[in-house]
């Protein structure tokens, strides 16, 4: 989970994921043409996303095409939902304690 959250923490990597989701699959060259960073920067970001399991790479002739791997995003979303629910429960308990009438 740490690798996924770390990878998603960078705004450019989130933009790359969005672009890949829009295209279905794309090369680093295509992504670099759309985003305000160099192809080399895109390749480095894609490497981080790949190590986190958020994208997959497939060779097609001389090109490497990247696609989003939604299973890791789904797992991260489930984890975040569970953490949010735990915090909501804790905050509700604190609210009830704060609003409870005190001894007079």
104 found inside a domain = no
**Beta carbons of 55 and 17 less than 8 angstroms apart:** yes
28 found inside a domain = yes
Q: Using CA atoms, how far apart are residues 36 and 58, in angstroms rounded to an integer? A: 24
Q: Sort strands 63-68 and 55-60 into parallel, antiparallel or unpaired.
A: antiparallel
Give the domain extent around 32.
2-99
Q: How many domains is the chain built from?
A: 1
- Average pLDDT taken over every residue of the chain: 92
Q: Using CA atoms, how far apart are residues 80 and 13, in angstroms rounded to an integer? A: 19
Q: Could you report the per-residue pLDDT of 59-74, keeping only the tens digit for each?
A: 989 999 999 999 988 8
CATH number for the domain including 32?
1.10.10.10
79 found inside a domain = yes
Whether the model clears a pTM of 0.75, i.e. scores above it, the answer is yes
User: How would you write the pLDDT of the chain (104 residues) with one tens digit per residue?
Assistant: 889 999 999 999 999 999 999 999 999 999 999 999 999 999 999 999 999 999 999 998 999 999 999 998 888 889 889 989 889 888 888 888 888 887 76
């Amino acid at each position: 989970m740490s690798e996924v959250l770390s990878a998603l923490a960078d705004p450019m990597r989130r933009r790359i994921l969005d672009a890949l989701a829009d295209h279905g699959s794309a090369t680093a060259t295509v992504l670099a043409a759309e985003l305000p960073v160099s192809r080399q920067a895109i390749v480095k970001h894609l490497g981080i996303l790949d190590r986190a399991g958020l994208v997959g790479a497939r060779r097609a002739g001389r090109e490497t095409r990247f696609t989003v791997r939604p299973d890791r995003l789904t797992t991260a979303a489930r984890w975040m939902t569970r953490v949010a629910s735990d915090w909501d429960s804790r905050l509700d308990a604190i609210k009830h304690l704060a609003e409870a009438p005190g001894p007079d």
